Structures are given as structure tokens and as C-alpha cells.
């Protein structure tokens, strides 16, 4: 399996979302782990891009997936 990496913009948006949703702060050393987890959740939910996935977890209907991401 080929490891997928987040672009700089995707990484920034993801980490800002994690701060806003749960107060979680990550340094750049966790970038590959965050990327792997995010892409795993995207695969499981059928999202083809980071933007649509993050919009989904930020929505009022995204509480269950938001918790899955945070777990």
C-alpha cells in the first residue's frame, strides 16, 4: 500500500480543525501519523478529499465520525 501524505494546506486545515474541535495540538513530527489516520477515516467514510471529510466532521451531523477521528 502506498502511503498518502497531506499537502501543507491539508495538514494545516486538519490540525486547525483538531485544535478547534478538541483542543488537540500536534507538532510536525506527527504529520505522517495524522495523515495515515485521516486517510483511513476518509476511506471508511467514502470521502475522496480532505476538504469534504473535514467539512463532514465539522457539521452538526458529523458527531459520530468526529468522535471516530478523535479516538
Stated pTM of the model: 0.89
In this prediction, residue 30 carries a pLDDT of 93
C-alpha 27/C-alpha 66 separation (Å) is 21
Residue pair 36/2 in contact (Cβ under 8 Å)? The answer is no
pLDDT tens digits in sequence order for the chain, 71 residues long:
566 889 999 999 999 999 999 999 998 899 999 999 999 999 999 999 999 999 999 999 999 999 999 99
In this prediction, residue 1 carries a pLDDT of 53
Query: What b-and-e string marks burial along 36-64, b requiring 16 or more CB atoms within 10 Å of the CB?
Result: ebbbebbeeeebeebeebbebbeeeebee
Amino acid at each position: 500500500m502506498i502511503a498518502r501524505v497531506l499537502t501543507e494546506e491539508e495538514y494545516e486545515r486538519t490540525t486547525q480543525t483538531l485544535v478547534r474541535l478538541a483542543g488537540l495540538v500536534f507538532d510536525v513530527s506527527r504529520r505522517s501519523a495524522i495523515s495515515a489516520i485521516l486517510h483511513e477515516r476518509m476511506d471508511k467514510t467514502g470521502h475522496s478529499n480532505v476538504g469534504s471529510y473535514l467539512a463532514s466532521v465539522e457539521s452538526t451531523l458529523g458527531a459520530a465520525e468526529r468522535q471516530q477521528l478523535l479516538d
